[in-house]
Amino acid sequence: MIDPQILRNDPEVIRESQRRRGEDPALVDQLVAADIGARQDQQFFDDLRNTQKILSKEIGPLQGQLKKNPSPELQQQVDQLMEKATALAADVKAAEQKAAAKAQEVDQLWLQVSNLVDLRSPVGGEDDFVVLEEVGTPRDFAAEGFEPKDHLTIGQGIKAIDTERGAKVSGSRFYFLTGQGAMLEFALLNLAMSQALANGFIPMITPALVLPQAMEGTGFLGQAAENVYRIESDDMYLVGTSEVPLAAYHSDEIIPAKELPLRYAGWSSCFRREAGASGRDTTGIIRVHQFDKVEMFVYCDPAEAEAEHERILQWEKDFIDALEIPYRVIDVATGDLGSSAARKFDIEAWIPTQGKYREVTSTSNTTEFQARRLKIRMRNDSGTKPLATLNGTLCAMPRIIVAILENHQNANGSVNIPAALRPYLGGAKQLTEPKQLTEPGTP
């Protein structure tokens, strides 16, 4: 949610943001009208309620007197007041219901408005991003004298990835990480968590099932709703990222300014329906329904948010650097920000067999948008105010595994392990074909 003062003082700012996103600016005009109406109705109720309270306070003491010394005169006085009060009660109730209905209408409209875009975000759709930098040089496999294999071929060769049995057990876009594939994920987890810990993050293992208000508050029930799994029988949602539980963690709380910034590194499974992506990335583990991820999540003073966003991006780069993977950083365009982000940077890793860069991490500055929805505030000397939240991927397992397998493969199908990862794999320098796992179809 956006600061309602902006709606009242300068609604054009919100209209412009909606236009840049390719969303409906007329929503803002609906909101302006609804907001005025709701405040009028609230004021009407407040005043009516005030008269009722004053009247009620007159009746109380009179009732007391009447009990001690009953007199017809007093009785008449009380009766008269009661008559007025009874009539008023109905009006108060009606006014209250009207005001509540209007307030709800305003809330519903606000839920449809996305965050104000950062004016530096490039305007346009998915393809209108701006490349900020390219880091590292893709390997020249031709010069090395062999054709690179795709990650699935390599993964199957070293018995690290099993998509056939994944599909057998759970359907398409599911997979098993087996043997050293599983160990590779654990190693990446440990590397990521060590880095996060060194950067002052608090490690967190979060719920993967959340209540509707957590999903709503983080902004995933808007346009992104079709990609969210819902557990109908219990009215809960499977999270697509631990950003959701990490944001809702402090909902309805007021955090002292001196405790900020609060940095959390969450580890959870992530679930995505990938609706509307049918036909894209159908082989391998680039686009899957379930994966594990280490996510950075920060609560900070809004004045610090932009600098923190840069820091998170740097930590993401540090991690990919450590894995020795070539990548580029893009400034995501307004149409591709999602409802919560004001600005978003993606890191895209080089995927040799696709000959292009593919998203492996994403960091968003959601400014005060989520904090307002989730009622998270900070307290400093001048009072309480909404704080800012930011998120960024530290390590999304399958895609990082894809990037490692493809970029560090050898002609014989083995894979070199980046030096930073070796300590977490017992010092091994390569992933090679093991003997113990059976082929699919073998009894």
Partner RNA sequence: GGAGGCGUCGCCUAGUCCGGUCUAUGGCGCCGCACUGCUAAUGCGGUUUGGGUUCAUCCCCAUCGAGGGUUCAAAUCCCUCCGCCUCCGCCA
Residue 264's identity, in one-letter code, is Y
Tokens 């991006």, residue?
313
Calpha distance 232→382 (Å, rounded): 44
The CB density around residue 355, as the number of other CB atoms within 10 Å, is 9
- Minimum Å gap between C-beta 3 and RNA is 9
Between 109 and 421, CB nearer to RNA: 109
* Bridge partners, 388 (sequence order): 300
- Structure token digits, residue 215: 């999903």
Between 58 and 321, CB nearer to RNA: 58
Q: Is 287 a catalytic residue?
A: yes
Q: Is 343 a catalytic residue?
A: no
- Structure token digits, residue 197: 């810990």
Catalytic residue, candidates 287, 358, 379, 422: 287
- Minimum Å gap between C-beta 80 and RNA is 12
Between 83 and 310, CB nearer to RNA: 83
- Minimum Å gap between C-beta 58 and RNA is 8
CB distance 366 to 316 below 8 Å = no
Between 55 and 123, CB nearer to RNA: 55
All residues at 6 or more sequence positions from 48 whose CB lies less than 8 Å from its CB, including other chains = 88, 91, 92, 95
- Minimum Å gap between C-beta 387 and RNA is 11
- Minimum Å gap between C-beta 261 and RNA is 20
The CB density around residue 396, as the number of other CB atoms within 10 Å, is 21
Calpha distance 121→117 (Å, rounded): 7
Q: Is 272 a catalytic residue?
A: yes
Residue 387's identity, in one-letter code, is L
Catalytic residue, candidates 362, 364, 368, 373: 362
Calpha distance 291→345 (Å, rounded): 21
Between 42 and 354, CB nearer to RNA: 42
If we measure between CA atoms, which residue out of 366, 330, 87 comes closest to residue 241? 366
Catalytic residue, candidates 263, 272, 372, 373: 272
What does each C-alpha distance from 38 to 26, 316, 388 come to in angstroms? 18, 44, 27
Q: Which DSSP letter does residue 415 get?
A: E
Give CA angle at 226 (223, 232), nearest 5°. 125
Between 45 and 291, CB nearer to RNA: 45
Which residues bind to RNA, rule: CB under 7 A?
4, 39, 42-43, 45-47, 49-50, 52-53, 55-57, 59-61, 63-64, 82, 85-86, 88-89, 92, 100, 254, 377, 379, 383-384
What is the separation of C-alpha 419 from the centre of its chain, rounded to a whole number of angstroms? 32
All residues at 6 or more sequence positions from 64 whose CB lies less than 8 Å from its CB, including other chains = none
Catalytic residue, candidates 359, 379, 414, 433: 359
What does each C-alpha distance from 175 to 163, 178, 182, 305 come to in angstroms? 4, 9, 11, 37
Q: Is 273 a catalytic residue?
A: no
- Minimum Å gap between C-beta 110 and RNA is 12
Give the HSE-up count for residue 330: Cα atoms under 13 Å, Cβ half-sphere: 22
Calpha distance 87→90 (Å, rounded): 6
Between 45 and 220, CB nearer to RNA: 45
- Minimum Å gap between C-beta 108 and RNA is 16
Residue numbers annotated as active site:
272, 287, 359, 362, 399
